[in-house]
Structure 1
């Protein structure tokens, strides 16, 4: 049974289909992305259903949500008083995140009567604001433990909890939410990039005798009217095909992880595959190392400031820059995102013929040379 397509890929196909130009059919969109028209129709119906309303959360999911949200509050002073804002917030949340007061109090072992008395005379605005800020910083630290307090403050601000960097530092200090990479020991030109977590197993030899033997990955960025958009792509050296990618408004470790997970989901058998990158913090993060180990893949990293160590990936980004990114100004991130994924899936994979592949497209080459790999994709 074939593996399901990655969620980000499905969302991108639906996004392209919804924003297609007049005269472009769903069948053409499905062909461009290598999926069946019926499959695309199902994805669009599912997306409409998901946007129309979500199913209520199960009891187990409600309890897990309470425990997750309570982690930051538990570190605050004056318990259990500081827990009450969480009880109120969960009870007032929109479905499927709404959790009844009885469930929250049972999970947190709080009596309901004191909570209702507090509800009539709640904590001060200052105490409540600190609890919300701590909760936002905790969520950001859990997602990216390598971030320092300044980046965590940016993430909290993006989540709607603005605060000064000094305030973020104080909350992080009190809760011991330190960056996984530790504090920098110096500033200026002599500051060194973090050590590699993998040896260089490629040595600029960008050749592979079969699919899923050597993948290259890197991140590029481009400005839009709404701010920067970041693309992390994974390229199979054997054919040159982009086997996975992820696009986001922030360049966090999750961007690299999602791109790699997308590639694994689309290619199937990847054990023993070498994944080569530069020494960016996204690729040195604990999350990236863990995902490689989980799929029995081998990490590889080039040297600092040596673009040639990942030249085959840089050549793809140069092509993308010329054909898409620099073609015009992009007003929104979604507009640029649609252009990127459409060019990759339709033009780069299925229309652009390459001399080194006997003038075949990337999809044609994989279909002829490795039928099983093509089916897995």
Structure 2
């Protein structure tokens, strides 16, 4: 004789199933038949939807439940899928196992076959993975990746720092370095990117590099180099702007001042232009310092027929020949005293070394062991000595 159960008993059984207990466990605990829990759950759903329970309505309800289950599978797996990788990756299998083995409140377990049909993988592939699952570390990484992708999709402007902050706010303990590594590995980055610069942007108009590190010439007054250096004295800083002719390596003009203004570069250029007989079409090469990009310096070059040339910002090699002269000045003059008493003393020492030593006494192997003045005197026609 069939056992009759009260409505309250049936409602309790339905509640146990809806709270996540497996139907098999409910049958064992309550001592009911195999088909009873499923039928009672279906009857309860029909009653809640206002249906009478005809065969057509039961089939429709079954289909509705299947669609709801499929929708839940897709919703759970959405974070694992992307446009770049629409096929379910290996990392989705832990989710499938969790859906199949750990029913949630109000939802029974979801069969692997159903999850595979919805997500597009075979039952064989899943159980092959079950035989050799991913490591715990890899699983954690994939779960973090899924959460990071959800955060990034919500706001594409979020980079790894903001994604890490959002994970912390959600109670996920992860280092910023690990978030950066995951984002780098899977190319997740903010839509706002900073432009990469090799140096600070020029605040004044720059000129093309006409020299391109070719620090030689076949005649005088073809290419000049210029730069500015500084040194401390007890009265403050002293600034030197020098002009060098690459043909003879001679310092052909200079200016010394206690202020580094545009006039410092202009005075040195005018001094060289006057000393060399007011030549035309000379190339003056410098770095991108503000003094060499000033309006006064540009106008002076235009008035004297001198062509400006500038190296790249923060690239010492583009003016290496001038840097080598300042290195000699540093070793032979500036470093000879631990401190200079005043600006005048240092100024005179610099001028004396440039005119008395560097130009007239210091022999250079690149000039055939001649001094710059000797070289210009002997090879005034522009022919370089033979080796």
Taking structure 2 as the reference length, what is the TM-score of the superposition?
0.46
Tell which has more relative contact order, 1 or 2 (C-alpha 8 A, sep 6+). Answer: 1
Based on CA coordinates, which of the two structures has the bigger radius of gyration? 2
